[in-house]
Copies of this chain bind each other. A is one copy, B any other.
Amino acid sequence: MRRSAVSVTLAQARRVIEAGEAKAAEIGQPMNIAVADAGGNLVAHVRMDGAWIGSIDVSINKAYTSRAFDIATKDLAEHSQSGGQFFGIHVSNGGRVMVFAGGVPLRRDGVVVGAVGVSGGTGEQDQAVAEAAAAAFG
Contacts and interface: CB of A to CB of B under 8 A. Distances in A.
Interface of A: 1-14, 37-49, 52-58, 61, 65, 67-70, 77, 80-83, 85-95, 97-101, 122-124
Question: How many identical chains are in the complex?
Answer: 4
A91 to B, nearest CB: 4
A47 B10 contact: yes
Nearest to A4: B6
Given A39-B39, A43-B47, 7 more contacts: A5-B39, A39-B41, A40-B53, A54-B92, A82-B82, A85-B101, A88-B90
A43 B37 CA distance: 17
A136 to B, nearest CB: 15
